[in-house]
Chains A and B, each alone.
Chain A
Amino acid sequence: MDYFFIIDFLQSLVDGLLFGTTYALIGIGFTLIFGVMRKLNLAYGAAALAGTYIGVAASLAFDAPPPLVFLLSALGSGVIGILVYYCCFRFTPTHYPMASLLASVGMLLFIDEVVIHASHGMPFPYPSVFRDATIELGDVWIRGDLLFVFGICVVAMAVLFWLLYRTPLGLATRAVSQQPRAAALCGIDPTRVNLLTFGIAGILGGIAGAMTAAAVGVISPIIAMGLTVKGLIAVVIGGLGSIPGAIIGGLLVGAAENVFLLLRGVTERDIYVMLLLFLFLTLRPGGLFGSSAGRD
């Protein structure tokens, strides 16, 4: 335990926590959709990836500035999220959860393949900002681009909270997630709420995808799987259906990932993150903030 090890450790922890906000966003998306529909949308990570590619296409086509690329990524992913809703959730029976689950898996494969076809499976550079800026806190450096990622994700979460707790739309969303039938009796159209939730979750996913790509510097189809699996782990650790849980879970996954990267190397890192998930499943199946253990 020498000094340099502790500095390295702190450095990974800080980087991981900053990057973990992207997992938190993906986790929030899963949780939102689960909240209103009681369904798992496995195509979510792929939709986020496809949205990010729309941003890349814009930057390649007419040399768009980074903020516009980020915006297009988010909006594109929102549109794809709505598309996923119509293809996989709108017309499948609600009492037979396997149908929509498998449909969303099919959509995951479909979107993934479309992206690979369109991009020929090649990684593309993704714009980033504040790449050269660093803040030095003693011997720990905070990368400017990661801080930007962190900032954008926090802003996105703040906007989401405002939307959920301060607007009529948010009230309707929370009503549907608490008791869909009663909400429908009060004149809320659950279909419209579901649709908007998929759109909002898609936009969050697009932001997460854009920020992941911005932090890495390149975008390739591989990140969809990482986003999906890590986002799901964040949700399970935090408790399915809980937004604060998803945030804490995302930060925890990001930090754990980077610390294990330091301790065990890149090929073994994900094994330990998944072991962490099993630890939580065994000791706390409902997650940190889950309302009841192992609920469906």
Chain B
Amino acid sequence: MDFYFGLAQIIGVHTLLGLSAYVVLLTGQVSMAQAGFYAIGAYTPGAMTAMFGLHILPAIVIAGLVSAGIACIVGFPALRVKGLMLVVATLAFGEMVRLFFFNLTWQVERNGELVGPNGAEGFRAIRYFPQNGWEVWHVTVFIWIVVAVVMAALWWMDRSRAGAVLRAVGHDEIAAQSIGLNLTAVKVGAMTAGGFIAGLGGGIYAHTVTHIEHGVFGVLLATFAIAYPILGGLGTVFGTLIAVLFIQGFLIEGLRFMGDWRSLLFGALIVLAMNLRPTGLLGEHAPRMKHLLGLRGRKTETLESKEAN
């Protein structure tokens, strides 16, 4: 049973990671820096709970805020360039963060032993959960409450004006600018929100695995982050969730008997999916529940979506 709780925890944190990329992708920007924000979010609360004995909840919120702040600062220079150049800039930023933690050694003594990040060896003993008597299912429920809150917030945002603004910038920047939207503010705002969510995810991740090291936060993780929302489709937050369930649940755990060949399969799957369904599983315009159930209103909706395209 613990295995399934563990799997649910992995799916939970990866959903947060995917959602952080989802917000940025809505504005049409591909950010490969999410693994970097995730790393910042992992090291910061790890340090706060393990080294200074803070409670988990303020620790992960602070982690989110720190990541958001850094995302905001990175956003300004990075967003002076568009599209493909941004990919390069964020890729470089992610690697820079990883190398920073690779070089970071900062240990303090606590209860007679040294804790803290120790360069290439990583950050050991982030044992907040076991020390405070949390059981595996407590942790799982905690993670999924956070995931549910974030998903609900994003779902609500999608349906509000903010979501429309993000999508307007994503679809056509010039049109968005000509109706008076401030492009820089929107993009940096999306980047900041993405940083916050990635920070939350990283903070939780650090506490569930208790040992983090720089190698985890490489380009592969950044790829996972953008792959989830793109594979799932940018129409709705549930696309990201479905993609995470499929990749983490089926491709990585379900096909465990295939051993190392799974990582081969992951790359091939992305290539195949992008050729067959470039807008992702649920597409850019998420299917509404009533359409799936075959109720009325189907015709008008297809007309609308044709016009939108």
Contact = CB atoms under 8 A, between A and B. Distances in A.
Nearest to A281: B77
Nearest to B275: A91
Contacts of A281: 77-78, 80-81, 85, 89
Contacts of B99: 267-268, 270-271, 274
Contacts of A158: none
B263 interface: yes
Contacts of A87: 271, 275
A179 interface: no
A233 B268 CA distance: 27
A95 B268 CA distance: 23
Given A88-B271, A271-B99, 4 more contacts: A99-B274, A229-B91, A270-B99, A281-B85
A135 interface: no
Interface stretch (A58-66, A105-113, A138-146, A184-192): A105-113
A106 B85 contact: no
A102 interface: yes
A296 B86 CA distance: 9
A107 B223 CA distance: 11
A40 interface: yes
Contacts of B274: 88, 92, 99-100, 102-103, 106
A293 B269 CA distance: 36
A102 B279 CA distance: 11
Closest 8 CB pairs of A and B: A106-B270, A110-B267, A99-B278, A109-B267, A103-B274, A296-B83, A274-B96, A282-B77
Nearest to B170: A98
Contacts of B77: 278, 281-282
B263 to A, nearest CB: 5
A109 B263 CA distance: 8
B54 to A, nearest CB: 28
A182 interface: no
B238 interface: no
Interface string A29-60: 00000100001101000000000000000000
Contacts of A91: 275
A247 interface: no
B264 A114 contact: yes
A98 to B, nearest CB: 6
A45 to B, nearest CB: 11
The residue among A98, A268, A271 with the most chain B CB atoms within 10 A of its own CB is A98
A106 B264 contact: no
A96 B279 contact: yes
A271 B227 CA distance: 26
B268 to A, nearest CB: 5
B264 A285 contact: no
B134 interface: no
B11 to A, nearest CB: 20
Nearest to B77: A282
B220 interface: yes
